[in-house]
Chains A and B, each alone.
Chain A
Amino acid sequence: MTPLLEVRDLRVSFPESGGGTIHPVDGVSFTLERGRTLALVGESGCGKSLTGLALLRLVPSPGRVEASSAIRLEGKDLMSFDERAMREVRGGRIGMVFQDPMTSLNPVLTAGDQIAEGVRAHRSVSRSDALARAEALLGEVGIADPARRLHEYPHQLSGGMRQRVMISIALAAEPEILIADEPTTALDVTVQAQILELLDRLRLERGMAVLLITHDLGVVAGRADDMCVMYAGQIVERASTRQVFEAPAHPYTRGLFGSVPTIAGPRERLTPISGSVPPPTAWPGGCRFAPRCPERFARCDSMPSLRGAAPGHDARCWLAGDEA
């Protein structure tokens, strides 16, 4: 079955102040399937948010998506779309939920207005019809008393409600794909679970594909069908969530798990990964994780490709799979 969205070799470039270019997203490939959730996991600075923006071709200038990238939505390459066609895709076929609803909602417009304009951007309906639809959406995302909330401003709503409004906006034009960029990072722990539940339910009800961008492994567990781990602009591990959790194949992923405290299980020492994430200007020529990797060896001076560690499980590491 054709994947709903197929991303091949996505590359985003930014000009450097010195004159060169950097690639915060450097050859990323993955696919999204209908009705399934793919988690894109990584620390801040790895390029995952930019990847989400790149899919909608909304990379802020002076950055740009390189022409060699391929983003195929049901077979058609978005890179070949003109601005007008992209506008139809944005919101209409791919919706995006942003990280911090306080700053991603316009403070001088009501919640209802912002949802309604999302509707009217893709369907020619009257304002009152759009607002009615907005009210229905607010109900669907679990907001009590939607009629009242419709006319309220973002600062009058709680954090959880704001995020639900953001989700309503993303769903306003019934997209097939939902990109959720750190949807719960700015929220209280108790609200986080509710929002994730909500996203799950909506995905099942509508048969959407969800790209869940997060740095939190806890969010991934139990919510995502598949996951990709990103480091320094590249995907370093790709498999079903279960496979990764049971047997992480990349030293970085293993390091991530080792540095997460667990309530259950024996009390072990946390083993944080030594060093810190290098900025795009300081990426080494070979494997980018090598400087911090406890298992590095001579071969790591050249860049490994994504290799099969197990069926359906790839890792960008010379130690994965056969050592040819």
Chain B
Amino acid sequence: MNWLARRALQAVGTALIALTLLFFLVRSVPGDPLAILSEDRPLTSEQVRDLQRRYQLDQPLGSQFVAFVGGALQGDFGTSIQYGRPVRQLVLERLPRTLLLGAAVLLINFTLGLWLGVQQALHRGRPIDRVLTTLSLAGYATPSFWLGLMLVMLFAVRLHWLPAAGSLDPGLESAGVASVLGDRLRHLILPALTLAAVSIASSMRYQRAAMLDALRQPYVIAARARGLTDRRVVWGHAWRSALPSVLTLFGLWLPILVVGAVFVEQVFAWQGLGSLTAGAAAARDYPLLMGTAVLATAAVVTGSFLSDVLHALLDPRARAE
């Protein structure tokens, strides 16, 4: 318990420092923020007032900082310049769709990705290992926004197999559960595949390395000496002992749900946090951008914490510390 509390405290500390850094980050940019924000389009006096109030722009730096942190901790980031609605509201609205996409990508990564990594380790050095490594590296080297476009071009435009954008056909709002579900799935496939393709390299590489390490251990030969089948030795012993370190990857994936999706969501007009962020950046919607940035940071910190907890749960040795 002691360890858990300490680790949690550490996470909170990191988050607070990150928050501080974010604050000073934006202040460090040359120029007057209000002037920049109003450059492309004139801000209404109400917006100006709201910004000033919310971010205490005419106050000394100290109170600006306090206002910022205080607001952030409550989830209040002011009003979006683009939409004119509270940032918090917009974020909460879009969160579920990002989570859905993220869950799908996670699923692909932790089934296909892990399995491929194990296969690579079992056939280390042989052609299939090299081919898979090169393929996954190619995936990693692919810009997700471009891949999305290519997939849309092929599957949506040329073949008409899958929809090009959105998460649900507008006409299905009142249709039965099954067809809604089916349609959602159809919309989910391309974005999920795109994001999975560029991210699977990490999962595969990690699993491969962990598996190679486990297979080298004396307890693997000892397991064979008991007359266990290959399958039991590979999965019940080698993979099982590599599992804790691979699952720590799981926690580090939480931020991918929020971050990696920025480009993919934008390309597929997937109405989640990613496209919200992309739009906010293009429109210089500072409050909204700050809101998603803080959320993304919180996700990273939480993910890292979760992965440590998971590791301790799964690896009996770590609990001893």
Contacts and interface: CB of A to CB of B under 8 A. Distances in A.
A60 interface: yes
A87 interface: yes
B320 A98 contact: no
Contacts, number: 83
A98 B222 contact: yes
A155 B222 contact: no
B225 A155 contact: no
B241 interface: yes
A216 interface: no
Contact of A60 (B221, B229, B243, B244): B221
Contact of A121 (B219, B221, B228): B228
Q: Which label, helix, strand, loop or mixed, suits the secondary structure of the B interface? A: helix
B241 A58 contact: no
Interface stretch (A4-12, A19-27, A103-111): A103-111
Contacts of A100: 218
Given A153-B316, A155-B317, A155-B320, A106 B237 contact: yes
A89 B227 CA distance: 7
Contacts of B223: 106
Contacts of B236: 117
B218 to A, nearest CB: 4
A172 interface: yes
Interface size class of B (residues with CB under 8 A): 20 to 34
A92 B225 CA distance: 10
A90 B218 contact: no
Nearest to B225: A96
A104 B222 contact: yes
Contact of B225 (A58, A107, A122): A58
B88 interface: no
Given A106-B240, A108-B240, A172 B218 contact: no
21 contacts: A53-B221, A87-B227, A87-B229, A90-B224, A90-B226, A92-B227, A95-B225, A96-B225, A98-B222, A99-B218, A103-B218, A104-B222, A106-B237, A106-B240, A107-B317, A108-B241, A117-B228, A121-B232, A122-B227, A153-B317, A173-B227
Interchain residue pairs A-B with the least CB separation, the first 8? A91-B227, A90-B227, A104-B222, A91-B226, A118-B226, A153-B316, A103-B218, A96-B225
